[in-house]
Every structure is written in C-alpha cells, then in structure tokens.
Homo-oligomer: A and B are copies of this chain.
Amino acid sequence: MVRQPSINAQHRPPLSIERIVEAALQIIDGQGLGRLTMRRLGDALEVEAMAIYHHLPRGKEELLDALVAHVAAAPAAAPAGDRGGGAWRDELRRWATSYRARLLEHAGVLPLLVTGRNPAALMSTTASLREILRRGGVPEDAAAGAAHALLALVIGHTALEVRGNAPGQGERTDWDVRFHTALDLVLDSVRPARRTG
C-alpha cells in the first residue's frame, strides 16, 4: 500500500506494441503522417526514441506495418440474422459503410495501405466479405470477384473522398450519396444462385 506520489513520472504503464501503435495513430490523426517520427513518438510516450526499438526491432518499418494491420483489420462481422430475401445486401452495405468510416477516421494511414507493405493485413477483411456473400447464396467464384470489387471500391472511394475533402474545395459534393450510389452499382450486379440450399 505504498502510495506513489503524483509526481506523474516513474510509474507510467510499461511500453508495449499496443501503446506504441496507439500513440502513433494519435500523431497521424492529429498532425499527419509526415509528422510521425520516432523522436516525436518517443516524446508522446514519455520515453527516449531509442526505447521503441526494443519493442519493434525493425524500427519505423515495423511500426508502419503494425499501423496498416491495425487500420485494415476487418470490423467484427455482424452476427447475421440471415432471414433470406437478400438481407445480405444490407449486411454488405453496413460492412462497407463502417469500413469506409474506419478508413476516413485514420485517413493519414491510407497512403501506407496502397503500398506493398504488410500484404497479409487485408486477408481477414476479404475473408469476412466472402463469408457474407457465401451465406447469401452467391456461388464461390462470383463471391470472390464481388468481394474483391467491393473492397476495391471502398478503398478507391475513400481515396477520392480524402482528396476531395482537401481544404479550399469549391462545390460541396455529397460524399455519402456518391458512396452509396457506387455501392449499389456493384451490389445490383451480384446475384445469388437460383435456389439457396
């Protein structure tokens, strides 16, 4: 029961990959990717920059990989009521909407996502997409194609939205409308097999 004085240093939580990634994300969201430096990250964690290398031996490269993994991870798939009749379309719409929101929330990470880095990061995402389509009765092949198209659309749209929302834009384009228009354009072409088992 030795009460620590509230001098606030000393007994801060120990460094961990989670804390590092969280602090990095905060810097990116608040100041932009360009201002994420190991030294600034160290400051935010109240630690010397060199301490980070003990947890991420590959240094900044490994940090960026972790950021991609963190942002690209699939949002938890809804439990799926699946009362037939094409409810899977709504499920895909919800999925796409929340994934877009996730990307916009961390728009500064987007440039890292369109790189070869951390190729495995999107696997669970595409898998959960294919699963929704499979449950909707869409044949395996078509489901793979549709899942890919959907993910590409969400990423591409978000990229355009980030570009369009740059300061000093004249006309106010309604990105929500654009997004759902494009979404429906794809979803309307996806068809389940004649009869669902």
- Which A residues contact B (CB, under 8 angstroms)? 110-117, 119, 122, 145-146, 148-149, 151-160, 162-169, 178, 181-182, 184-186, 188-190
Contact = CB atoms under 8 A, between A and B. Distances in A.
A124 to B, nearest CB: 14
B185 A149 contact: yes
B153 A152 contact: yes
Contact of A189 (B115, B165, B186): B186
Q: How many copies does the complex hold?
A: 2
A122 to B, nearest CB: 7
Given A152-B182, A185-B145, A186-B189, A159 B159 contact: yes
Contacts of A116: 162-163, 165-167
A186 B116 CA distance: 26
Given A111-B115, A117-B166, A165-B116, A155 B160 contact: yes
Given A119-B164, A149-B153, A185-B190, 5 more contacts: A111-B112, A115-B163, A119-B163, A149-B182, A184-B189
Contact of A119 (B113, B169, B190): B169
Nearest to A182: B149
A164 B169 CA distance: 34
A157 B172 CA distance: 26
Nearest to A175: B148
A160 to B, nearest CB: 6
A149 B156 CA distance: 9
B149 A181 contact: yes
Contacts of A148: 157, 160, 178, 181-182
Contacts of A188: 189
Contacts of A155: 155-156, 159-160
A145 B181 contact: yes
